[in-house]
Structure 1
Amino acid sequence: MTLTLDHIAVLGETLEEAAAHAEAAVGMPMEPGGSHPIYGTHNQLLGLGGGLYLEAIAIDPGAEPPGKPRWFGLDAFKGPARLDKWVCRVPDMEAALQALPMAGQVVELSRGRLQWLMTVPEDGLLPYDGLFPALIQWLSPVPAGAMLSASGTRLTRLEVTHPEAAALEALLAPHLDAPLVRFVTGDVPGLRGSVHTAQGHDRILT
Structure 2
Amino acid sequence: MILAELDHIIVYAASLDEGKAWAKDVLGVEFSIGGSHFLMGTHNLIMRIDSDDFPKAYLEIIAIDLEAPDPAVGGVRWFDMDCPTLSRQITKSPRLIHWVVRTQQIQEAVDELRRVGIDRGDILSGSRMSNYGLLEWQVTVRSDGWRLMNGALPTLIQWGVTHPTESMPASSLKLKNVILHVTTEEEKILIEEILGKLHLVHADTSLIKVEVLHTHGLSVDIESPQGLVRLRGYD
Q: TM-score scaled to structure 1, two decimals?
A: 0.91
Give the Cα separation in 2 of the matches to 1:129 and 1:142: 29
Q: What letter is aligned with 1:168?
A: I
Matched, 1:144 2:164: yes
Is the aligned partner of 1:74 residue 2:91?
no
Say whether 1:124 aligns with 2:173.
no
- Of residues 184, 190, 214, the one that matches 1:187 is 214
Alpha-carbon shift at residue 119 of structure 1 (Å): 0.2
Instruction: Report SS of the residue matched to 1:35.
Output: strand
Q: Which residue of 1 aligns with 2:230?
A: 204
Point out where structure 2 has 5 or more consecutive residues left out of the alignment. Answer: none
Are the counterparts in 2 of residues 22 and 205 from structure 1 also a CA contact under 8 Å?
Answer: no
Offset, 1:18: 3.2
Whole-angstrom CA distance in 1 between matches of 2:136 and 2:120: 19
Match of 2:111 in 1: 98
Answer whether contact 1:6 1:145 (CA < 8 A) is retained. no
Amino acid at match of 1:174: K
For 1:33, the equivalent position in structure 2 comes to 34
**Secondary structure, aligned partner of 1:9:** strand
**1:107 and 2:134 aligned:** no
- Find the partner of 1:167 among 176, 185, 190: 190
Matches within 5 A, 1:39-78: 39-49=40-50, 50-66=55-71, 67-76=74-83, 77-78=86-87
In structure 2, the CA distance between the partners of 1:200 and 1:131, relative to structure 1 (3 Å rule), is closer
Per-residue CA deviations over 1:155-189 (Å, capped at 9, x if unaligned) read: 00111112133322222222242323111111122
Calculate the aligned-residue CA RMSD, in Å. 1.7
TM-score between the two structures when normalised by the length of structure 2: 0.81
Secondary structure of the 1:72 match is coil
Q: Distance in 2 between matches of 1:48 and 1:142?
A: 18
The correspondence for 1:83, drawn from 73, 96, 105, is: 96
Tell me the distance in 2 between the aligned counterparts of 1:183 and 1:43. Answer: 28
Q: Provide the identity percentage.
A: 31
2:28–2:226: 8 Å Cα contact kept in structure 1? no
Task: Give the Cα–Cα distance (whole angstroms) in 2 for the partners of residues 52 and 96 of structure 1.
Answer: 20
Query: Separation in 2 of the partners of 1:157 and 1:9?
Result: 14
Question: Is the CA contact (8 Å cut-off) linking 2:79 and 2:147 kept in structure 1?
Answer: yes
> Could you tell me whether the CA contact under 8 Å between 2:99 and 2:151 is conserved in 1?
no
CA-to-partner distance for each residue in 1:17-60, whole Å, 9 max, x for gaps?
Answer: 33433443321011220111111001000111221100000111
Q: Can you list the C-alpha shifts for 1:110-134, whole angstroms capped at 9, x where unaligned?
A: 1122000000011000222332101
CA distance in 2, matches of 1:153, 1:97: 31
List, as ranges, runs of 4+ consecutive aligned residues in structure 1 with deviation greater than 4 Å: none
Number of aligned residues: 204
SS of the residue corresponding to residue 137 of structure 1 reads strand
- Structure 1: segments with no counterpart, 5+ residues: none
State which structure, 1 or 2, has the greater radius of gyration over its C-alpha atoms.
2
Letter in 2 for 1:98: D
SS at match of 1:173: helix
